[in-house]
Amino acid sequence: MTSPTLIFGAILLAFSPTIFLLLHIIFPKPQLVILAVCAAFAYLLSALLSSLLWLIITKASGGGILNSALGTLFALAIPGVICQMILRCVYVMGYFKVESVIRKSVAKHEEETLAAAAYVNETGGDRGSNESNNTNDNSNNSRNDESPHAETNALQLQLNDISCSLASGCGYAVMHSLFLYGTLVASESGEANSYDIGGSYAGGGGSTGHGGTLYQESCGGMPSLLNSALIACMFSILDVMWMMLTFYGMRRRSSLRNNISTSTTTMQALLHGLLPCRGFDDSPSGGNASLVFVTLSHLAASLVLAPNAYEDGCKISLPLLGIIVLYVGSVLRGVYGYFLPEDQRRRIQGMQLGLRDVEQSHHVE
């Protein structure tokens, strides 16, 4: 039976990025929890779609594609990456539509609140109450008005592309990690070894079939539980960054509907963005380039695991996967300064200035 300490440590390693995001960013905000759950469901749909494509491909080829290791690799990787990219884009498009409805509802709520406050002030003035009572009424009304506006501001601050893309990426990564790693953990934490009267091994011991900890030829110096935990951890980080870049790309693509012209093509923007820490243009072509980059980097991350089919292949695949994580992170760092669209940046800056004015007025009083 695999050591419980190894199992617990490997689980922490595999799920540490998502656990951190869930505890510190997502769980305190119910809206972000809903987004994470929806993103996890989006991954389930992508897995279902890629499975159906795999059945169709193997049926159409008559099983001949399975005779080649390279053919099997591409037949698994390419449909899986395409299905996940399609579901990411569909999910983000659905979020944008819901976001638009929420914005309109918030704007209507603000208008109703201001109209109610104006009506109360007018009726209070017509009754001809004295100056001191008017002062008290106005101060009470201002306090009452702050409550709905405070709720509105809190909602607006939570519904921005950074927090929502993080929550969505985290939900997507959790479900992906469970698929990558959950079955191995379940098999390795199975029943303990059993022995007969003569002391010979009689069964149990998890997935090894003969007791002990599972090792594979692809990584002979490291337990499979730890090797897979490293892969799941790095793919979790990649899933979050890919979702953020998908938000960035889809948001910039939406500006095409507003007839915003750009002097660069998608290929030019892609080549510019491939330079470390340069990022993609804040334009529709930059958005297209971001989506292409997510697809290509996801395909590369899938293909670098191919050496695991050979002896000690993890010595090649794990460093290459780590390089991809760092590279995607550098590209995301390049767009982070203007990740939020202009309207969200202005709104957040206006809210911050308004909150400072309120704090200063309270301090003076």
pLDDT in tens, 146-164: 445 555 555 555 678 899 9
Higher pLDDT, 246 or 138: 246
Task: State the residue range of the domain holding 284.
Answer: 4-127+139-187+206-355
Lowest mean pLDDT among 30-39, 49-58, 313-322: 49-58
Q: What is the mean pLDDT of residues 312-329?
A: 94
Q: Within a domain: residue 198? A: no
Section 25-43 average pLDDT:
94
Q: Hey, which of 39-53, 264-278, 336-350 has the most confident mean pLDDT? A: 39-53
Question: Is 275 strand, coil or helix?
Answer: coil
CA distance 267 to 208: 49
Which H or E run contains 364? helix 342-364
Cβ of 204: how many Cβ atoms within 10 Å? 16
Q: Is position 147 within any domain? A: yes
CA distance 359 to 273: 41
Of 272 and 85, the structure prediction assigns the larger pLDDT to: 85
Question: CA dist 193 to 2, 189, 204, 276, 343, Å?
Answer: 10, 11, 5, 51, 62
Neighbours of 327 (CB within 10 A): 14
Residue 202, pLDDT above cutoff 70: no
Q: Domain count of the chain?
A: 1
Is residue 332 situated within a structural domain? yes
Within-domain flag for 254: yes
Mean pLDDT across the stretch 183-191?
A: 74
Could you report the per-residue pLDDT of 270-308, keeping only the tens digit for each?
777 777 667 788 888 888 999 999 999 999 999 999 898
Mean pLDDT taken over the chain: 79
**What one-letter code names the amino acid at 89?**
C
The Cα–Cα gap between 290 and 270 comes to 7
Q: Are 332 and 245 in contact (CB under 8 A)?
A: yes
d(CA 198, CA 273) in angstroms, rounded, equals 66
